[in-house]
Structure 1
Amino acid sequence: MYTFVLVLIFIVCVLLVLIVLVQNSKGGGLASNFSASNQIMGVKKTTDFLEKATWVLAGSLLFLCLAAAMTIDRGEVDGEKSQIEQQLNETETAPQIPTFPTEAPATNASETKSDTAQ
């Protein structure tokens, strides 16, 4: 099922790229190639169709991506947990607190007085 959804996503992406490339950024696009105003769809109808096709393809791409996320194989072991969750639970340990020296090293009071005097 996941592979089928991925193939549909790929087809929708290719169609979306083609529809967007046909459009012109200033509104001419496919309609600007036809000089006669009495063509099959007409200038206004062509831009409406391309805009609606873009929205439909974008919405279907969103829906297919959500469907792919729901149908992906999780690799469940014994029907309980996924392999990733099982590995995390097996390797999960309490963090060890690093040990730092808590006592300051002893210094001679006479050495510190002679260093400050110079």
Structure 2
Amino acid sequence: MQGILIALIILASILLSFLVLIQNPKGGGLSSGFAGGTNIMGVKRTGDFLEKGSWGLVIAIMVFV
């Protein structure tokens, strides 16, 4: 059981690192290409998705610890 929790924490940490590195604090990066439209194929802007994903992974890490 303890090994599974450690593996989940490591996986969530790696995914969180990638999400943070993709984001650009000044609105550029991956989300800048979609700045013109607020809705692309039924999905909100990429920046919103990355932010929500980051928060979800942070909460997951806190729950696992």
Which category of TM-score, normalised to the shorter sequence, fits these structures?
0.7 to 0.9
Q: What is residue 27 of structure 1 aligned with on the other side? A: 27
> Which of structure 1's runs of 4+ aligned residues deviate more than 3 A?
35-41
**Aligned length, in residue pairs:** 62
**Alignment root-mean-square deviation, CA:** 2.2
**SS of 1:15 mapped into structure 2:** helix
User: Hey, which of these two has a bigger chunk of helix by percent?
Assistant: 2
TM superposition score normalised by structure 1: 0.46
- List runs of 5+ in structure 2 lacking aligned partners: none
Query: Higher relative contact order at CA 8 Å, sep ≥6: structure 1 or structure 2?
Result: 2
Percentage identity across paired residues of the two chains: 44
Q: What is residue 6 of structure 1 aligned with on the other side? A: 6
TM superposition score normalised by structure 2: 0.80
Q: What is residue 79 of structure 1 aligned with on the other side? A: none
Cα deviations across residues 37-69 of structure 1 (Å, max 9, x unaligned)? 46846xx6111111111100000000011xxxx
